[in-house]
Amino acid sequence: MTEAESAGRSRVPAVLVVDDEADLRELLGLTISRLGLEVDTAESLAEARQFLQNRAYRLCLTDMRLPDGSGLDLVRELGARSEPKIAVITAYGSADNAVAALKAGAFDYLAKPVDLDQLRRLVRSAIAGSPSGAAGGAPAENAAAARLVGESAEIKRLRALIARLGQSMAPVAIIGESGSGKELVARAIHAGSARSAMPFVAVNCGAIPEALMEAEFFGYRRGAFTGADRDRDGFFQAASGGTLLLDEVAELPLAMQVKLLRAIQERRIHKVGSTSEEPVDVRILSATHQDLGRMVEAGRFRQDLFYRLNVIELRVPSLRERGDDVPLIATALLRRITDRAGVPDAWLTPAAEAVLRQWAFPGNVRELENVLERAVVLTGGGELAPEHLVLETARAFGEPAAAPSTPAPVPAPARAPAEATPAAGSVAAEAVPGDLAAYLDSVESAAIQAALARTGHNRTAAAQLLGISFRQMRYRMQRLGLK
């Protein structure tokens, strides 16, 4: 080979295929070469290692069963590298092998008999997502990851993991408390992947009636049931080529868990009313605030589905675990809130920042956003002091157990600086309980009236603006005597 030929060959992305079946090696090599890529083939681990020493590859595709060992050995050797990415070929129905490979660092997997369309998609994804990939180069700026604001060790670790997980097709289970930003993390993983130009579909599994789940997930044919007057695609087809987020996955009924497991394992779905299956190409992410391991032990979640979804577990830290990030997050949220509301910029006083740092935030970032949005509604922008934050009212915004005729008495706050007592705001430390309750009622009333004014007295829209349900809105208006 001449020097010019060698230079030209080195510029073309290369793929290594490792399989002991000569016919399959030839088929895989021919299919990949038709994508404009260079291909080398090896029939054993020893030969594959020799190729890897002498040439740089973007992707290594290996069978799991080889004459001198397991493809899993190669996965463990290459899995920690950025290149080459490694994908495995497993026997039909060998879900355990596929999961083991993904956990060890494999980019993706194919099941035998190999579907050539899936092979092409896998290769394109691997090449496009490579740091030096010819098809797309470096990923575009990840706007979703940029919204994960903070400089704490926890958030830096999370951003680093997101960047790594974007380069894999492995299923990820995102675990975290309500309001901690699990969907934002899922969007960041998608945005940092080779699938970023394709759809991201988020499904709230707890919001779909059980009778409609199969049709919503897999679609249906015309005439499949009463009211099915046309063919319709489901969530899997809507996310084709992209990412499907199963939010609140713990809410799936057991019957649907079985059907979902098969779709994930076989990468094929069966539309309601159809007599045939169709392939689907989606990456599955899941999110929950519940302990799926305990649900498995209690028999409320299938172990095999848990095993498939929990290939990689990603924990999202709560806001109280990164209190030093609160001012940075609040600044970013205030910028978005004021832009959305069309009001002047808003900012926190040092005393207000101190109040927020000390608050536990059981509702996490979602609660912080609601608190800030109510403050902006009250003030119309500008400086936000502790008395504008109304944290005690925010905590009480859950549905009341009963409607008391008079507010329950609360202990008088101790004498302390205002910023050390989040509930007190600017109320004098020696205020009597009745005065504090009346003050909180007046702030809540003002917030509701401001929200109603902004929404043209649309109570549903005002409730959304305040971050509460319509039922809660109606109760509070009745309690405060608002019409």
Q: Identify the DSSP state of 60.
A: E
Angle between helices 459-466 and 470-480 (to 10 degrees): 100
| pLDDT given for residue 14 in this prediction | 94
Task: Assess whether pLDDT exceeds 50 at residue 427.
Answer: no
Q: Is the pLDDT of residue 416 over 60?
A: no
pLDDT in the model for residue 127: 86
Name the β-bridge partners of 286.
Answer: 173, 246
**What does the block give as tokens for 142?**
């990840």
**CA 367 vs CA 19, 319, 325, 460: distances in Å:** 54, 10, 15, 19
Task: For residue 189, give both structure tokens.
Answer: 């993983």
pLDDT for 377: 86
What are the pLDDT digits (tens) for 335-381?
999 998 888 999 999 999 999 988 888 889 999 999 999 899 888 88
Mean pLDDT calculated for residue range 263-288 = 90
Specify the range with the lowest mean pLDDT, choosing from 55-64, 316-325, 388-397: 388-397
Q: Which helix (H) or strand (E) holds 244?
A: strand 243-247
Q: How many Å apart are CA 179 and CA 189, to the nearest integer?
A: 18
Provide the pLDDT for residue 410: 32
Residue 287 above 70 pLDDT?
yes
Confidence of residue 408 (pLDDT cuts 50, 70, 90): very low
Q: 160-177: buried (b, 16+ CB within 10 Å) or exposed (e) per residue?
A: ebbeebbbbbbbbbbbbb
Contacts for 226 with CB less than 8 Å, ≥ 6 apart: none
- Cα 12 to Cα 161: distance, rounded to the nearest angstrom: 30
> Residue 10 has what pLDDT?
52
DSSP code of 313? E
Domains of the chain: residue spans and CATH: 3-128 (3.40.50.2300), 143-315 (3.40.50.300), 319-480 (1.10.8.60)
Residue 355 has a CB neighbour count (10 Å cut-off) of: 25
What pLDDT band is residue 93 in, cutting at 50, 70 and 90?
Answer: low
* Dist CA 219 CA 269 (whole Å): 9
**DSSP code string of 271-300:** -BT-SS-EE---EEEEEESS-HHHHHHTTS
- Going 176 to 310 to 62 to 196, the CA torsion angle's sign is negative
Give backbone dihedrals phi and psi of 454, rounded to 5 degrees, phi first: -70, -30
How far are the Cα atoms of 208, 222, 267, 270 from residue 229, in angstroms, in the given order?
20, 5, 27, 18
Neighbours of 56 (CB within 10 A): 11
Minimum mean pLDDT range among 283-292, 333-342, 470-479: 470-479
Q: Looking at residues 35-57, what average pLDDT do you find? A: 94
pLDDT band at 218 (very low <50, low <70, confident <90, very high): very high
Q: Which residues pair with 278 in a beta bridge?
A: 269
Residue 268 — φ and ψ, nearest 5°? -140, 145
- Three-state SS at 334: helix
Q: Which helix (H) or strand (E) holds 367?
A: helix 364-379
Most confident option among 33-42, 261-270, 386-395: 33-42
Residues 109-127 have pLDDT tens digits of 888 888 898 899 889 888 8
Residue 81: burial class (beta carbons within 10 Å; 0-12, 13-18, 19+) = exposed
Ordered DSSP codes for 88-146 = EEE-TT-HHHHHHHHHHT-SEEEESSPPHHHHHHHHHHHHHTSTT-TTT-SPPP-HHHH
Give the whole-angstrom CA distance, residue 461 versus residue 465: 6
**C-alpha to C-alpha distances, 365 to 379, 380, 400, nearest whole angstrom:** 21, 21, 22
CB 329 within 8 A of CB 365: yes
| Distance (Å, whole) CA 98 – CA 245 | 20
